[in-house]
Structure 1
């Protein structure tokens, strides 16, 4: 199948796809320089794009093709894969449930979406029924909803058909190239369905006639199939059509280092390349400079101390505790102040707790003046939090078992693996939530290999406490 890839993981993933006999198309100039391969301009079956927060990738395209590509991305036991309930280009009959300053929240059935007021012609208010299409899906760990549009489009590589439009448009600043492409389109002998306009992407100006014909033919076929479903009455909430599938892949720390190895087989790659690039845009540019200068280093040790000295977090910084769940959700446990960093790379985090309720599994009341001291170390499969009252007396210790911790400049991130170990105020040690881990395995959210690692870590912690 044809795969188009963009973002910080592209070199490593390109190597994986070529090894799996997939065709990588529309490759960027750096990729063309790094590989001795023929990168065509044919329309892609699947596109892979790094998420905005650089934590993973979104895979969108033909449903069968997406499933095949994802098999090449399930790298390690701390890689998680989640199909999107609201895939890119999916069409829904939705009901407006809330209006905000810039748009409306819509019930899609299995998900909610956000419809900017500028994306729909008519005025909408709570209770209205609207037909919408997903233009920008959102990963499950993101703090946003999929973006919706009232216009219906069909995409096939560089060709997009827009329902309700007419004629041919070329999305390029090169007017001459645009006019030439519009003229060439007539020679293809393929007419869009009535009531659909054609928009060519800028990349189409460099494609050959065969690629243009394939793209337009696919777009027309998809538009005709979709058109057959659009005459029905709007009946929310329901998914009316899903011409493409979107799957989200979240990479853990082990996965990022596995991708380093793939990239290193192609070009100069510093230890921790993808781990650093996932931290911030500034850190990503620094990696590019280090590797361009040929100072990437020849050992396998990730320079955690040097990276955190430059980009953080360091003492005095504030970080989020991003507590991921195996179903893809992200729960922010709050912000913590970095109060210390030990020579081994352990960060000491301090949070002031609010009163109300009890601490999970400890059965101890949460009171005003309580403080939580958490110690996290890059790459460790667990971290402890000690709760103390206003007088400094220990109220209990909670040890969270998770995927290897990553200490980014703005957040400490991991995926919780359910099973935990607690030590109560009287010193009693208990292991909790094994049943939740078992349920996650049965549901296919956690692999048996990962679950066994979590159980082993929990057993070791029981003995240590």
Structure 2
């Protein structure tokens, strides 16, 4: 069977998954050798490593047929998987894969069959070095017998549910398109916070037209973005310098990651726009269909995105 090397914050869960699917893991890290009894070394047919561009992504690269086999397993295992980009060069292939939060929770389950795993392990690992260190410390305390696993899991879950930016802190919004394009909005200022919730205000510079709304953009305008942890949409309201509402924009996405200094999600293309005194309008459904046709997202994820869009239209939260 094909030989793989696996590295990065998702490695334990991915080794478990790929071994179960018949792949041979080579060149193990120390923890992989201890957890799985892997000793084989040598040239790999492909490797999976963390993406340097985004901690919610991994890169799969190597022989084309092996990379394609790995991608097929990942798509089968994670309904919300997003294949952001793939490049071919003769017999070689490189692909970047995004793990939205439902996939991260499934990865948590896989990892927990091998070692003690705190709730939201991969959610926190993807959130930056601070949260990642918190995970390592918590799991180490359990593995050393200092804290019972059940007690740590309860406490850790409570802490993660409370994570949100501090009042007045600056926050970036990281918006990843299915084609791999990564947009960073802001930073904006946190003007309200709750447990797992926040409102971020951004000042608008320059002229133009608000995408989707077709409303003129003017210097002094501002946008207020409302987010809730793991909510599958993000709402942005645009105002003039005098506070007059110019329109609202609901972006349908994978469940949102809300961290102390940034917000992260994978965009699912379809959006809802609401102009003042107008009915809500669903836009860009064709772009969502295109993402399915290009094999970037699954048919199930498309249907889910459209269902969420319908709910947002009916409720306009």
Q: TM-score, normalised by structure 2?
A: 0.89
Maintained 8 Å contact 1:308/1:314 = no
What CA distance in whole angstroms lies between the structure 2 residues aligned with 1:67 and 1:359? 39
What CA distance in whole angstroms lies between the structure 1 residues aligned with 2:299 and 2:128? 32
- Matching residue of 2:86: 84
How far the C-alpha of 1:65 sits from its partner, in A, is 1.3
How far the C-alpha of 1:359 sits from its partner, in A, is 1.6
How far the C-alpha of 1:309 sits from its partner, in A, is 6.4
How far the C-alpha of 1:57 sits from its partner, in A, is 1.3
- Matching residue of 1:147: none
- Matching residue of 1:57: 58
For the pair 1:244 / 2:92, whether they are aligned, the reply is yes
How far the C-alpha of 1:83 sits from its partner, in A, is 4.7
- Matching residue of 2:22: 21
- Matching residue of 1:431: 282
Match of 1:419 among 270, 294, 302: 270
Alpha carbons of 1:81 and 1:340: their partners in 2 closer, same or farther (altered >3 Å)?
Answer: same
Match of 1:306 among 152, 155, 159: 159
- Matching residue of 1:42: 42
- Matching residue of 2:33: 32
Maintained 8 Å contact 1:23/1:39 = no
Q: Which deviates further from its counterpart, 7-16 or 329-338?
A: 329-338
What CA distance in whole angstroms lies between the structure 2 residues aligned with 1:23 and 1:382? 39
Gapped runs of 5+ residues in structure 2?
Answer: none
What CA distance in whole angstroms lies between the structure 1 residues aligned with 2:208 and 2:249? 16
What CA distance in whole angstroms lies between the structure 1 residues aligned with 2:58 and 2:226? 29
Alpha carbons of 1:83 and 1:434: their partners in 2 closer, same or farther (altered >3 Å)?
Answer: closer
Maintained 8 Å contact 1:323/1:415 = yes
Maintained 8 Å contact 2:212/2:283 = yes
What CA distance in whole angstroms lies between the structure 2 residues aligned with 1:421 and 1:316? 29
Give SS of 2:74's match.
Answer: coil
Q: Which deviates further from its counterpart, 408-417 or 249-258?
A: 408-417
Equivalent runs, 1:155-194 vs 2, <5 Å: none
Alpha carbons of 1:424 and 1:65: their partners in 2 closer, same or farther (altered >3 Å)?
Answer: same
How far the C-alpha of 1:449 sits from its partner, in A, is 0.7
What CA distance in whole angstroms lies between the structure 1 residues aligned with 2:233 and 2:315? 13
CA RMSD of superposed structures (Å): 2.3
- Matching residue of 1:284: 132
What CA distance in whole angstroms lies between the structure 2 residues aligned with 1:255 and 1:16? 13
Alpha carbons of 1:79 and 1:307: their partners in 2 closer, same or farther (altered >3 Å)?
Answer: same
Instruction: Please give the per-residue CA displacement for 1:20-58, whole angstroms capped at 9, x wherever unaligned.
Output: 1211111111112222x4431132111111123422211
Instruction: Please give the per-residue CA displacement for 1:95-134, whole angstroms capped at 9, x wherever unaligned.
Output: xxxxxxxxxxxxxxxxxxxxxxxxxxxxxxxxxxxxxxxx
How far the C-alpha of 1:404 sits from its partner, in A, is 1.0
Give SS of 1:361's match.
Answer: coil
How far the C-alpha of 1:325 sits from its partner, in A, is 1.0
How far the C-alpha of 1:72 sits from its partner, in A, is 2.6
Equivalent runs, 1:221-236 vs 2, <5 Å: none
Name the one with the larger helix percent. 2
Q: TM-score, normalised by structure 1?
A: 0.62
- Matching residue of 2:116: 268
Match of 1:456 among 293, 307, 312: 307
Give SS of 2:216's match.
Answer: coil
What CA distance in whole angstroms lies between the structure 1 residues aligned with 2:155 and 2:176? 23
Give SS of 1:57's match.
Answer: strand
Maintained 8 Å contact 2:85/2:180 = no
How far the C-alpha of 1:268 sits from its partner, in A, is 0.3
Q: Which deviates further from its counterpart, 19-28 or 327-336?
A: 327-336
Alpha carbons of 1:72 and 1:326: their partners in 2 closer, same or farther (altered >3 Å)?
Answer: same
Maintained 8 Å contact 1:308/1:409 = no
Gapped runs of 5+ residues in structure 1?
Answer: 91-241
How far the C-alpha of 1:308 sits from its partner, in A, is 7.9
- Matching residue of 2:296: 445
